[in-house]
C-alpha cells in the first residue's frame, strides 16, 4: 500500500470544508483612541491608518466599523492634561466617559463597548500606578482603578479591561462593580501582559511612555512562560471572566498553553508594534500587507485564541466577508 496525502489541497471546496480554524467578525475587537476635544479626526503617525477621534467624532468611526460588520470596541482615552494621580481616568466627565455616553446613546446594544482601565494615559509620569519614592505603589492604586472602572460602567461600558498588571486589580474591580449594582458586568483581564517593546507605537499614540524607568516591575519578563499561567490562574480566582494574552504573535506558545489549561475565553491582543511592523514592511514593498494580515490573524486563532483584539479589525472583517479567511 502506498501512503498518500490524497492531494486534497487541489480542491478548493474540500480545502475550505476541512479548514480547522474558523473565524468571524464576531470574534474581533477593534481598539480605538479618543482624545479630549471636539471635531477631531487625526491619523496617528505611529499607527498608519488608525485614527484619533474626539468623543463627538468617535460616533462616525464606530458607525463605519458597525457597517463593516464589527460589533465590539475597546476604548483608550487621551486626556487634555495629566497629573501625578491620574485624575482624568476616573472623572465623571472624563474623555472615555464622554465617549461611552455618546456611543451608547447613538447605538444602544448594537455596539459592545469595552473600556481599558489603567492610569498610564492619565499620569504625568506615565506609569500605570501611583508612585511612592520612585516606585509603583500597587495597593494605593487599586481604589483608583476600581473608581475608574465603576465610572466607565456608569457611563455605558459593557465590559471593563484592567490593563495595568496591578496585583489584586481584578478583585478590586469585581467588588466595586458588585457594590455599585453592576454584578452582571464582566471583567476581561490583561492577565498575561508582557513588558514588551511591541507597545512602542501605542505609547506614542496615547502619549503614555513612562517618564522614568520602565514597566518591568509590573509587566512580565518575556523569558517566562509558566509565570503567565500562574498570573492567569490568580486573575481567574479573583473573578476574571475573560483573559487576555498580550502581545500576540511572539506569544503564541503562551496562548496555546493557556488554552489547554483554562476554560474561560482567551483574547489575544495583537499590539501596536505588530500592526506597525506589517504596515512598515508592506509600505517598503517587502511583504504583501493583506496576505500577511490574514495569515497572522489565523495563526493567532489556530494557537487557541477565541477573540482577537487588533488594529486590523476593519480590514479583517472585509477579508472574512470576501471569504478569503474564516
| Residues within the interface to ligand PBG (CB under 6 A) | 116, 118, 120, 128, 163-164, 199, 202-203, 208, 271-272
As measured in angstroms, the least distance from the Cβ of 199 to ligand PBG is: 4
Given a contact cutoff of 8 angstroms between Cβ atoms, the answer to whether 283 and 48 are in contact is yes
As measured in angstroms, the least distance from the Cβ of 40 to ligand PBG is: 20
Tabulate helix, strand, coil % of the chain (nearest 5).
Answer: 45, 20, 35
Residue 30 C-alpha cell reads as 477593534
The catalytic residue positions are 193, 246
Nearer to ligand PBG, 103 or 120 (CB): 120
CA 254 to chain centre: 17
Nearer to ligand PBG, 94 or 164 (CB): 164
Closest to 165 in 3D by CA, of 198, 120, 124: 120
* DSSP per position, 43-75: EETTEEEEEEE-TTTHHHHHHHHHHTT--EEEE
As measured in angstroms, the least distance from the Cβ of 200 to ligand PBG is: 7
As measured in angstroms, the least distance from the Cβ of 58 to ligand PBG is: 18
Question: Cα(126)–Cα(139) distance, rounded to whole angstroms?
Answer: 18
Nearer to ligand PBG, 103 or 271 (CB): 271
Nearer to ligand PBG, 307 or 326 (CB): 307
Mapping DSSP onto H, E and C, the string for 84-140 reads: CCCHHHCCCCCHHHHHHHHHHHHHHHHCEEEEEECCCCCECCCCCCEEECCEEEHHH
Amino acid at each position: 500500500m502506498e501512503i498518500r496525502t490524497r492531494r486534497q489541497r487541489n480542491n478548493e471546496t474540500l480545502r475550505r470544508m476541512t479548514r480547522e480554524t474558523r473565524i468571524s467578525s464576531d470574534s474581533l475587537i477593534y481598539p480605538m483612541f479618543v482624545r479630549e476635544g471636539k471635531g477631531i479626526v487625526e491619523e496617528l503617525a505611529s499607527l498608519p491608518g488608525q485614527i484619533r477621534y474626539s468623543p463627538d467624532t468617535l460616533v462616525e468611526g464606530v458607525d463605519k466599523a458597525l457597517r463593516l460588520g464589527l460589533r465590539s470596541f475597546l476604548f483608550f482615552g487621551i486626556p487634555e492634561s495629566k497629573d501625578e494621580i491620574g485624575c482624568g481616568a476616573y472623572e465623571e466627565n472624563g474623555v472615555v466617559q464622554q465617549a461611552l455616553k455618546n456611543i451608547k446613546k447613538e447605538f444602544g446594544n448594537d455596539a459592545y463597548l469595552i473600556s481599558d482601565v489603567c492610569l498610564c494615559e492619565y499620569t504625568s509620569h506615565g506609569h500605570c500606578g501611583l508612585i511612592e519614592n520612585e516606585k509603583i505603589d500597587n495597593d494605593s492604586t487599586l481604589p483608583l482603578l476600581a473608581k475608574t472602572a465603576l465610572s466607565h460602567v456608569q457611563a455605558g461600558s459593557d465590559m471593563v479591561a484592567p490593563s495595568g498588571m496591578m496585583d489584586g486589580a481584578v478583585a478590586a474591580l469585581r467588588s466595586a462593580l458588585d457594590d455599585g449594582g453592576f454584578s452582571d458586568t464582566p471583567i476581561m483581564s490583561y492577565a498575561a501582559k508582557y513588558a514588551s517593546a511591541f507597545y512602542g507605537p501605542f505609547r506614542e499614540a496615547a502619549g503614555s511612555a513612562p517618564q522614568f524607568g520602565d514597566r518591568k516591575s509590573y509587566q512580565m519578563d518575556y523569558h517566562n512562560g509558566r509565570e503567565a499561567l500562574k498570573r492567569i490562574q490568580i486573575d481567574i480566582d479573583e473573578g476574571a471572566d475573560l483573559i487576555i494574552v498580550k502581545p500576540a504573535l511572539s506569544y503564541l506558545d503562551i496562548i496555546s498553553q493557556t488554552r489547554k489549561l483554562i476554560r474561560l475565553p482567551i483574547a489575544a491582543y495583537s499590539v501596536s508594534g505588530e500592526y506597525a511592523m506589517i504596515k512598515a514592511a508592506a509600505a517598503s514593498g517587502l511583504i504583501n500587507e493583506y496576505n500577511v494580515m490574514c495569515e497572522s490573524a489565523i495563526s493567532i486563532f489556530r494557537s487557541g485564541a477565541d477573540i482577537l483584539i487588533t488594529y486590523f479589525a476593519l480590514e479583517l472583517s472585509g477579508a472574512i466577508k470576501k471569504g478569503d479567511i474564516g
